Amino acid sequence: MSDSQAMMSSQTAVSKTGAGRFQMKLRTREAVAAYLFLTPFFIFFLVFVVRSVATAVNLSFYDWQILRPSRPYIGLGNYQELFNDYVWWIALQNTIVFAVLTVLGTTILALASALAVTQPIRGQSFFRVLLYMPTLLSVGVVGLTWVWLLSTQFGVINYFLSFIGIRPVNWLGDESLVIPALSLTTIWWGFGFPMLIFIAGLQGIPEQLYEAAKIDGANGRQLFWYITLPLLRPTILFVTVTGVIAHFQVFGQPFIMTTGGPGRASYTVIYYLYEMAWRAFRMGYGSAVAVTLAVIMALFTVVQFRLIGRRVEY
């Protein structure tokens, strides 16, 4: 090797080393900038989420009542009382039934609506906005509106049912119908956001797959079952998991529409927590209810990931 070639190779090595150092510095700066931007969220998360969860878990081991200054430590006493309280089991059963009905109904309606509004039709944007609009309403407006719609005396739903010979149905006063009625209300109110998620999922499916299947002679039903539905599994998993978490915490609908009745037929876990913590002032017991509900929601989430997530291909 000549001196000129050796010099050129050494210069190349130096330039590569300099370029590597520059890229390392650039990556370090980008990482520092990213963490600086994330710092406010981390602080918020630690102060208002992690600290709150830790406080709730700690309080669940104490017999703390707001009107009593002392706070005796009772260990698992609140949990033992909770599992022996038949009202808790009624509330849990009602909550599970409500969550299952609402998640299934919301997922099916949201997917059907997304399929409809992604078709090449006139007024596509108008129909998307129209279907999404109920999501913008508050729980108070939705609850009072559906109390009127489901009324046995002047309700619009019973009025239309009378045309096909069905007598007025006491939707909110019948123990066997109140949970489905609350679920129907929630489905109408909340399917708009999952619809948007499904629209995004449908738009992410390559059109070439449909074209190839059509060339092979596939019809619309086969396109849905063998292309659309399998490729929407990640979206379905997201919608169902977030739906279960949200609907296990239902409170506003039974509080406004039924006040937990008739009897305790629409008594939910959060309504039970509200009664214990803010009416009976038993904050320690209420914390035990909250912690137990969080564990149950985590178990349902794990089951969903096992049933749906195992078939999801990322």
- Domains contained in the chain, number: 2
- Tell me which residue of 100, 67, 64 sits closest to 283, measured CA to CA: 64
Residues 44 and 132 in one domain: no
Contact assessment for residue 101 and residue 180, using Cβ atoms and an 8 Å cutoff: yes
Residues 85 and 35 in one domain: no
Note the pLDDT of residue 151.
92
CA 179 to CA 49: how far, in whole Å? 31
Say how many C-beta atoms besides its own lie within 10 A of residue 279's C-beta.
8
* Burial class of 224 by CB neighbour count within 10 A (0 to 12, 13 to 18, 19+): middle
Is residue 7 domain-resident?
Answer: yes
pTM of the model: 0.86
Is residue 17 domain-resident?
Answer: yes
Is residue 278 domain-resident?
Answer: yes
Residues 92 and 197 in one domain: yes
Note the pLDDT of residue 93.
96
Predicted confidence pLDDT, tens digits, the chain (314 residues)? 555 554 555 555 545 565 667 678 878 888 888 888 889 988 998 988 899 899 999 999 999 888 787 889 999 999 999 999 999 999 999 999 999 999 999 999 999 999 999 988 888 889 999 999 999 999 999 999 999 999 998 889 999 998 988 899 999 999 999 999 999 999 999 999 999 999 999 999 999 999 999 888 888 889 999 999 999 999 999 999 999 999 999 999 999 999 998 989 999 999 999 999 999 899 999 999 999 999 999 999 998 888 876 655 54
Residues 132 and 46 in one domain: no
Alpha-helical (H) ranges within 248-312 are: 252-257, 269-274, 283-307
Note the pLDDT of residue 22.
66
Is residue 74 domain-resident?
Answer: no
**Which residues have CB under 8 Å from 305's CB, separation 6+?**
237, 241
Give the domain CATH number at 109: 1.10.3720.10
Note the pLDDT of residue 61.
95
- DSSP-derived 3-state class of residue 87: helix
Residues 110 and 198 in one domain: yes
Note the pLDDT of residue 314.
43
Tokens of 140: 């108070």
Q: Which domain holds residue 51?
A: 1-59
Note the pLDDT of residue 124.
84
Is residue 75 domain-resident?
Answer: no
Note the pLDDT of residue 307.
81
Note the pLDDT of residue 239.
95
